[in-house]
Amino acid sequence: MKTECIKKVEAFVKAELGQDATGHDWHHINRVRKMALYIWEKDHLNADPFIIEMAALLHDIPDEKLNESEAAGLLKLQTFLDRLNLEETIKQQIIEITTTISFKGGRKLELQSLEAKIVQDADRLDALGAIGIARAFAYGGKKGQTIYEPCIEVRNEMTNEQYRNGRSTSINHFYEKLLKLKDGLHTYSAKQIAEKRHQYMVKFLQVFYNEWNGQA
């Protein structure tokens, strides 16, 4: 029953996000799913692996930036969940997790469940390291922002609207979000993995500036 349910979710998510070119494609979803389950197992966390897997698979479905609006995203998720034969409480847990874990310019929402913390950690790890770097430039390019523009300053505080639509660059995004992520993680394993990926990004930025400044 659960395996069948997961299969239906996989098919739905592939159909919805398979062609996404902003870094929210099926492979991102699949990495987040695997990483979330890895953290759960490695840290021996007392959380429900079915909820973790379902929420990880569906975490980008209601995202406002991938939908017409926040309400449209939520409706899409709810309509799909209604087609599965799930208990109401399980459905509510999945909706709760997938609608609260987004970064949105740094706003700190206190996450309610351990499952939410695990999925959020896994999603954030995918924004770090080599893959995180690739995703930042893919997202930035698709949005029409430049790789780097020294005249555009890094923003410290911003509203969700500014975070989504304000003028920035992909290099600035490292300071506005990516380098802050490791300090907001919840689980032991995620913190360990983040440390390595963080250092790799710091190194990347050093090399980037060296080349920018004409170093051979």
- Gap between the Cα atoms of 112 and 117, Å rounded: 8
- Gap between the Cα atoms of 123 and 89, Å rounded: 23
Q: Is 40 in the site for ligand ADP (CB under 6 A)?
A: no
Q: Is 136 in the site for ligand ADP (CB under 6 A)?
A: yes
> Shortest distance, CB of residue 109 to ligand ADP, whole angstroms?
11
Q: Is 139 in the site for ligand ADP (CB under 6 A)?
A: yes
Q: Could you tell me the two tokens for 60?
A: 């980008």
Contact letters (x/-) for ligand ADP, 67-106, by CB under 6 A?
A: -----------------------------------xxx--
Q: Tell me the one-letter amino acid at 201.
A: M
Q: Which of the ranges 44-52, 67-75, 108-116, 133-141 carries the binding residues for ligand ADP, by CB under 6 A? A: 133-141
- Gap between the Cα atoms of 198 and 192, Å rounded: 10
Pick between residue 139 and residue 174 the one whose CB is nearest to Ni ion. Answer: 139
Q: Which of the ranges 83-91, 131-139, 149-157, 193-201 carries the binding residues for ligand ADP, by CB under 6 A? A: 131-139
Q: How far apart are the first and last CA of the chain?
A: 59
- Contacts with Ni ion in 121-140 (CB under 5 A)? 123
CA distances from 140 to 12, 34, 93, 134, 153 (A): 26, 26, 32, 10, 16
| Cβ 158 vs Cβ 95: under 8 Å | no
Binding site for ligand ADP (CB under 6 A): 23, 102-104, 127, 132, 135-136, 139-140, 168, 170, 173, 177-178
Binding site for Ni ion (CB under 5 A): 60, 123
